[in-house]
């Protein structure tokens, strides 16, 4: 179970100013701590094309079109416009010294990008489905290769994933508990509950006045470790991934 203090830092609250990514704010205290940390060198100026799986003010997770790998892009500046799931965006690797902007140096998928991914296309259908299938988290392993819902920051390892595409293979339920948005699903024979950061889901439930909602059949989840919050990285559902 996630501790009360951790849940309090993943609340949905009306006190936080809505962002360009939607009126429903899911994580007002999800503020990565920027520290000066060593990082593997990434060539500046390289432009990647990513199929967006989740996006927030300065963070974008997507599939690199060329290699088919997951990438977590972090930017120093907030993005000026929202991008949607399965949009294809262009991002450019930031220049020298940008590694200091990575909130978690143990994220093997992380790169620093220049602000504002630019949408250039949209990918759906069989090609998108093929890319997602290739990235599915193995069903015989704990989520993100760790059985805990949160781990100390200093125990994070760069040889373990920080984000994964998960196919629960069954029902996925979203529920409101006060201002908290939960995602409930089965994994390895056990019922799991993780905080959900998907503003689109939260907004849909808010507008309809719903306290409980089932995900469409065949949906997948993007599960990730957060950057450190009070010294611990928490498992969350970053986004709902409907059938492309």
User: CA separation (Å) from 19 to 34, 83, 219, 224, 244?
Assistant: 21, 12, 25, 21, 26
Please tell me the predicted confidence (pLDDT) of residue 118: 85
Please tell me the predicted confidence (pLDDT) of residue 32: 44
Please tell me the predicted confidence (pLDDT) of residue 89: 95
Give 102's Cβ-side CA count (13 Å radius). 25
| CB atoms inside a 10 Å sphere around CB 237 | 28
- Locus of tokens 């805990």: 148
Averaged over successive runs of 10 residues, the pLDDT of the chain (244 residues) comes to 42 44 54 41 79 92 91 86 92 76 84 86 95 94 92 86 94 91 95 95 94 96 94 96 96
Q: What is the dihedral of CA 123, 124, 130, 136, to 10 degrees?
A: 90
**What distance in Å separates the CA atoms of residue 81 and residue 112, rounded to the nearest whole number?**
18
Strands 212-214 and 172-177: antiparallel
Are the beta carbons of 62 and 50 closer than 8 angstroms? Answer: yes
Token output for 23: 């009126």
Global pTM reads 0.84
130, with CB counted inside 10 A (0-12, 13-18, 19+), is exposed
Please tell me the predicted confidence (pLDDT) of residue 200: 93
**pLDDT tens digits for range 141-160:** 999 989 999 999 888 888 78
Angle, CA 133 vertex, CA 130 and CA 137 arms, to 5°: 160
């Amino acid at each position: 179970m996630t501790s009360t203090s951790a849940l309090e830092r993943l609340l949905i609250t009306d006190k936080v100013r809505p962002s360009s990514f939607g009126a429903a704010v899911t994580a007002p205290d999800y503020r990565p701590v920027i520290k000066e940390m060593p990082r593997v060198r990434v060539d500046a100026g390289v432009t990647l094309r990513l199929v967006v799986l989740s996006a927030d003010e300065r963070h974008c997770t997507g599939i690199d079109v060329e290699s088919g790998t997951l990438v977590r892009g972090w930017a120093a500046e907030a993005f000026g416009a929202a991008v949607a799931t399965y949009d294809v965006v262009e991002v450019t690797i930031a220049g020298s010294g940008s590694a200091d902007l990575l909130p978690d140096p143990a994220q093997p998928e992380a790169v620093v990008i220049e602000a504002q991914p630019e949408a250039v296309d949209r990918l759906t259908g069989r090609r998108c489905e093929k890319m997602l299938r290739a990235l599915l988290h193995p069903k015989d392993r704990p989520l993100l290769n760790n059985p805990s819902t949160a781990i100390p920051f200093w125990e994070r390892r760069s040889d373990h994933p920080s984000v994964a595409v998960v196919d629960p293979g069954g029902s996925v339920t979203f529920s409101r508990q006060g201002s908290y948005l939960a995602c409930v699903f089965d994994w390895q024979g056990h019922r799991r509950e993780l905080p959900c950061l998907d503003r689109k889901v939260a907004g849909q439930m808010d507008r309809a006045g719903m306290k409980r909602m089932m995900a469409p059949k065949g949906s997948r989840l993007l599960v990730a470790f957060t950057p450190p919050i009070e010294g611990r990285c928490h498992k969350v559902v970053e986004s709902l991934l409907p059938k492309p």
